[in-house]
Structure 1
Amino acid sequence: MNNLLSYCKISFYFLIIISINLFIFSLKFMLNDLIIFIEWEIISLYSVSIVMTFLFDWMSLMFMSFVLLISSLVIFYSNDYMMSDVNINRFILLVLMFVFSMMMLIISPNLISILLGWDGLGLVSYCLVIYFQNVKSYNAGMLTGLSNRIGDVTLLLAITWMLNYGSWNYIFYLEMKSNNFEMFIIMGLVMLAAMTKSAQIPFSSWLPAAMAAPTPVSALVHSSTLVTAGVYLLIRFNILLINTFFGQFMLLISGLTMFMAGLGANFEFDLKKIIALSTLSQLGLMMSILSIGEFKLAFFHLLTHALFKALLFMCAGVIIHNMKNVQDIRFMGGLFMSMPMVCSCFNIANLALCGMPFLAGFYSKDMILEVVMLSYMNFFSFFLFFFSTGLTVCYSLRLVYYSMTGNFKNMSLNMLSDKSKIMNFSIFFLMIMTIFSGSMLNWLLFLNPKMIMLPKFMKLLTLIVCLLGGLIGYMLNYMFLLNSNIFVKYNLKLFVGMMWFMPLISTLFIIKFPLKLGLNLYKSFDQGWSEYFGGQMLYNQMKKYSLYIQEFQNNNLKIYLMSYFIWIIILLIMMFLN
């Protein structure tokens, strides 16, 4: 156990030192406007050479520093959370493989090397989702794996279309060939791949299902790795989104995803699934602002969201750990009394998610919504942006209402506490980052600050929407607790709570018709009329006759007596006739 502890600590220190160095380098690259492009020839055989390319700019270095910071804290946190697990070494190795795949994706300007990281993320995520090895996690892993495979296929198709150009280094051709038909096709395929990885409609059902993975994995996946890979890829391809059909399509799809996830979280009772749906909502926000053309804002929100979402999951993990693996928020309540430190961090992360002034989420969300107000946009998209922001506050307040307030609703004998030093260290570190990272990144990313001039009402609209969302959230909870209208309540929960029936569409809808068709074909070819009138009919007839003979043989005394009487009657009749 001591060796394991030292192993976790070594990996933690190693990753955090690299993270700090990468962050310093990213600042240097940003201030000096530097880009380093490395081509490494792995092997050269006659005229064929295999070349590995890496792109280091301020964006890739900063994102890598954040990924390594969060993964180091997750590994340190896992040392206590996964203490009773026999295979903890395997778990930490899987997490490290996951982080390495993300690194490959971040620094690749080449579609082939991107595919290595992309497929690595998909494969390792499957291994992590099925980690607990039960039926639920197997189903969730299969749904996650197959949903991501669609994106892998589209990325492979994009690689084949890149053969129209001189190399697979897409970064050379984006501006020059932006109006080409080939690049139009490549952009469509890359966008589809990004939609599957970032779980946009209609590929959203795998994201809540992936909650079958251990909580430290959820903290890593939902903050800075798997789900952000699609957003990061589209940030690299952002030139092809501006003023195109793809940008408009992405705006609609991501707006609907944001709205659907926010609505679904208000009807969910699983603690981890609520936070997963909030991730889906924020991914929709990032994708929609990216489709307008503000890639820096999308990247800004990507970084701030990574910090407070990792904090939310870590706090949720401590709560679940102490509740003896109970995840239903209806069994919680009054946790503030027993776990003050964790609940305080949980609330800070929740407020950052809602966009509470001067926390991490405020700087990015407020700027995004103000830019939306300045943009040329139709009313429907505008409504989706602001209504979804209100829904975020609504489900966050509902979560706090159920878990923190009132009386404890579980066992009277409990061991609730937040005394784990290892888990508390990771949580406290992320809490500090959640408070200060928003303003810090705002100053760093936007060196020349823009003054966004808006009328007074529009300037206050974000705050008004948040307050209204909180009020509606409280009123809805109060109404549902009173059990006002059961028919409306349960039908609404069935549709909205099941993400507009998307899990059914992704699973049962896809497999039902092929299975039915297979059954009909099986009946037609293997057990059809030829079998019915051929071998099966002969068998059934012979079986029936043999059963009759068996009946005769089993009742032989009765049969002999009966035949004796019949014979006597026949003799008497013949005598009378003579």
Structure 2
Amino acid sequence: MLSICKVYGVIFFVGSVSMFFTGVYFVGLDYSVVIEYKLLTLNSTSVVMSVLLDWMSLFFMSFVLFISSMVIFYSEEYMAGDEYLNRFILLVVMFVLSMVLLIISPNLISILLGWDGLGLVSYCLVIYYQNIKSYNAGMLTALSNRIGDVALLMSIAWMMNYGSWNYIYYLEFMKDDWMMEIISYMVVLAGMTKSAQIPFSSWLPAAMAAPTPVSSLVHSSTLVTAGVYLLIRFHLSFSENLMWLLLFISSMTMFMSGLGANFEFDLKKIIALSTLSQLGLMMSILALGDYYLAFFHLLTHALFKALLFMCAGNIIHNLGNSQDIRFMGGLIKQMPLTCSFFNICNFSLCGLPFLSGFYSKDLIVEVMSMGVLNIFIYMNFYLSVGLTVCYTFRLMYYSLTGDYNYFSLSMLSESSYIMLKGMGGLILFVVFSGSMLQWLMFSTPYFICLPILFKLMAFMMVGVGMWMGYQTAKFSPSYTNMSLKFLPTSMFLGSMWNMPNISTFGINFYPISMGQVYTKGFDQGWLEYYGGQNLSLSLSKTSSVLQFMSINHLKIYFMLIIVWLGFLIILWF
């Protein structure tokens, strides 16, 4: 009997292949289809389910399904000891189907269904290993994403003014309308929360509490890329001011995450911060007006990031669930195939010629260099490229070279053939997908005209990044022996500019402390004295008087008669 992993893996793989070839056909014809299915008609109001099939949605769906099929194959061995493996796989399937619904929706209501599906299932997956750290990470993830959900609900409310939620028809036509501007601001806010841009960045590294196959899916093609994909769909309605704002925020996110990864020692968090850096890069080129390039990098990045997490998962699996890179070392000798895959993905991430990451990343940087921009954005892009190479080589130095730093009595092996097969399914695409997608997507090639110095700038930054990464890894002091003078700076840079503190402690502490003041001063203080407590006291005093009268009613009756007779005598005389 086939296991649930094999069944869903095969279904997703077949779906991926068929969608990819359909997408190639649609690209060739420049063809798109909108399918509308009327669900309900009530008093001339129609509830219609719409599906948009064009080359962009088909390509993205094929990549999502292909990566998820490999991740499900991989999970069969990675999660083998789990008692509830079937439940885990079904959660992953729900996660993927929510993403597919979001991709094919030209309608804001069905986008919200897919969007919320991603949010809810991601919460279930992040808290999968049930411990305090997972619960905290799950709440941070869910609550950060709720801000974007509310923004999407508000944009749905504003779009009622147009008579339909099929946004795809209004974007360019209503671009100058102030209502469309409000909607586009709301959509950008939603995209920023889902893709973890500043100031919503802290949930992305925290979500590493999820199992590694989930991290592989989340960071490559599903949850975090949903925001970028939504903005790619909405790009026609963005005003110039909104694009400048998005460019500033995304470029700062790219720089901040690259800097933070150089101070991190958790293997999965380093890769998570590299995802954040690449999301900033996609958002930046989208804000510069080139949505084609943003989508191109979205696809190439999905492949090598999925494989990068799968390699990290195999390393963590073999090291007895240790994620600290300082315990690793010399892994290239014990796990040669995994480390080869790991190296190729890292080189692709850095943009080394001629791997898939090079085709999209180098093109983005060169198109940015050709634009008329300020020095801030220019330097930010190149510094971020250098930082990416720096933390990648630091990671490779710690994990792959040198001496093995973990327990002397340990068992490192590459006998996990199912995991290796899942990883092997992706490696060819990590190498060749960049050139393949470039031939498919761009009917005419980009013409790059730059001076030789500008042309070589990316290679110079890669070289500087390699050297810096080697130096920081070889000579970096640990936090224990670092001089106190540099400790606050390194803590600030390494903790994503204090964003996790602000979005957890900063949001929780002050309302709770104010609540304590309010409780003591008002609820159990003056309000209690002048409110319930005082009322209770007055009523109890009155009732005690009435009770006294009711108990002694005969004596009081006779006394009242005497008083009454006395009163009459006084009046008589």
TM-score, length-normalised on structure 2?
A: 0.91
* Structure 2 unaligned spans of 5+: 535-573
Which residue is equivalent to 1:525? 522
Which residue is equivalent to 2:330? 334
- Out of 180, 204, 208, the residue aligned to residue 205 of structure 2 is 208
Q: Is the 8 A contact 1:271 1:327 kept in 2?
A: yes
Matched, 1:160 2:157: yes
Which residue is equivalent to 1:469? 465
Q: Is the 8 A contact 1:199 1:227 kept in 2?
A: yes
Matched, 1:25 2:22: yes
Which residue is equivalent to 1:305? 301
What do the CA deviations read for 1:368-387 (whole angstroms, capped 9, x no partner)? 00000001111101111110
Q: Is the 8 A contact 2:137 2:209 kept in 1?
A: yes
Aligned AA for 1:383? Answer: M
Which residue is equivalent to 2:237? 240
Tell me the matched-pair count: 532
Deviation at 1:429, TM superposition (A): 1.5
**Aligned runs of 1:119-198 on 2, under 5 Å?**
119-198=116-195
Q: Let me know the Cα RMSD of the aligned residues.
A: 1.7
Q: Is the 8 A contact 2:149 2:190 kept in 1?
A: yes
Matched, 1:85 2:82: yes
Aligned AA for 2:66? Answer: L
Q: Is the 8 A contact 1:480 1:489 kept in 2?
A: no
Which residue is equivalent to 1:492? 489
Distance 1:303 1:482, change over 3 A: closer
Matched, 1:263 2:259: yes
Which residue is equivalent to 1:15? 12
Deviates more, 1:391-400 or 1:406-415: 406-415
- Out of 291, 296, 299, the residue aligned to residue 292 of structure 2 is 296
Deviation at 1:284, TM superposition (A): 0.1
Q: Is the 8 A contact 2:4 2:89 kept in 1?
A: no
Partner Cα separation in structure 1 for residue 146 and residue 478 of structure 2: 45
Deviation at 1:485, TM superposition (A): 5.4
Which residue is equivalent to 1:380? 376
Partner Cα separation in structure 1 for residue 223 and residue 520 of structure 2: 44
Tell me the SS of whatever aligns to 2:38.
Answer: strand
Q: Is the 8 A contact 1:151 1:192 kept in 2?
A: yes
Which residue is equivalent to 2:318? 322
Tell me the SS of whatever aligns to 2:65.
Answer: helix
Partner Cα separation in structure 1 for residue 355 and residue 342 of structure 2: 13
Matched, 1:66 2:63: yes
Q: Is the 8 A contact 2:108 2:165 kept in 1?
A: yes
- Out of 437, 440, 445, the residue aligned to residue 433 of structure 2 is 437
Distance 1:316 1:470, change over 3 A: same
* Structure 1 unaligned spans of 5+: 537-578
Tell me the SS of whatever aligns to 1:507.
Answer: helix
- Out of 397, 403, 416, the residue aligned to residue 401 of structure 1 is 397
What do the CA deviations read for 1:228-286 (whole angstroms, capped 9, x no partner)? 00000000011123x61010000000000000000000000000000000000000000
Aligned AA for 2:321? Answer: N
Which residue is equivalent to 1:104? 101
Partner Cα separation in structure 1 for residue 266 and residue 419 of structure 2: 22
Deviation at 1:531, TM superposition (A): 7.4
**Aligned runs of 1:555-566 on 2, under 5 Å?**
none
Q: Is the 8 A contact 1:261 1:280 kept in 2?
A: yes
Tell me the SS of whatever aligns to 2:51.
Answer: strand
Tell me the SS of whatever aligns to 2:168.
Answer: helix
Partner Cα separation in structure 1 for residue 528 and residue 228 of structure 2: 56
Aligned AA for 1:248? Answer: W
Partner Cα separation in structure 2 for residue 24 and residue 200 of structure 1: 33
**Aligned runs of 1:48-59 on 2, under 5 Å?**
48-59=45-56
Aligned AA for 2:381? Answer: F
What do the CA deviations read for 1:165-185 (whole angstroms, capped 9, x no partner)? 021111111111100000000
Aligned AA for 1:16? Answer: F
Which residue is equivalent to 2:569? none
Partner Cα separation in structure 1 for residue 387 and residue 486 of structure 2: 18
Aligned AA for 1:170? Answer: Y
Deviation at 1:511, TM superposition (A): 1.4
Tell me the SS of whatever aligns to 2:443.
Answer: coil
Q: Is the 8 A contact 1:136 1:212 kept in 2?
A: yes
Deviation at 1:135, TM superposition (A): 0.5
Partner Cα separation in structure 2 for residue 482 and residue 293 of structure 1: 42
Partner Cα separation in structure 2 for residue 350 and residue 491 of structure 1: 30
Deviation at 1:516, TM superposition (A): 1.5
- Out of 271, 278, 283, the residue aligned to residue 279 of structure 2 is 283
Deviation at 1:490, TM superposition (A): 2.1
Partner Cα separation in structure 2 for residue 56 and residue 364 of structure 1: 24
Aligned AA for 2:29? Answer: N
Partner Cα separation in structure 2 for residue 55 and residue 532 of structure 1: 64
Q: Is the 8 A contact 2:198 2:253 kept in 1?
A: yes
Deviation at 1:480, TM superposition (A): 1.9
Deviates more, 1:475-484 or 1:207-216: 475-484
Which residue is equivalent to 1:541? none
Aligned AA for 1:299? Answer: F
Which residue is equivalent to 1:460? 456
**Aligned runs of 1:353-432 on 2, under 5 Å?**
353-432=349-428
Tell me the SS of whatever aligns to 1:25.
Answer: helix
Q: Is the 8 A contact 1:219 1:313 kept in 2?
A: yes
Q: Is the 8 A contact 2:228 2:283 kept in 1?
A: yes
Matched, 1:508 2:488: no
Partner Cα separation in structure 1 for residue 56 and residue 497 of structure 2: 36
Matched, 1:222 2:187: no
What do the CA deviations read for 1:391-448 (whole angstroms, capped 9, x no partner)? 0000000000101111111111111011211100111121111001011011111121
Deviation at 1:535, TM superposition (A): 9.1
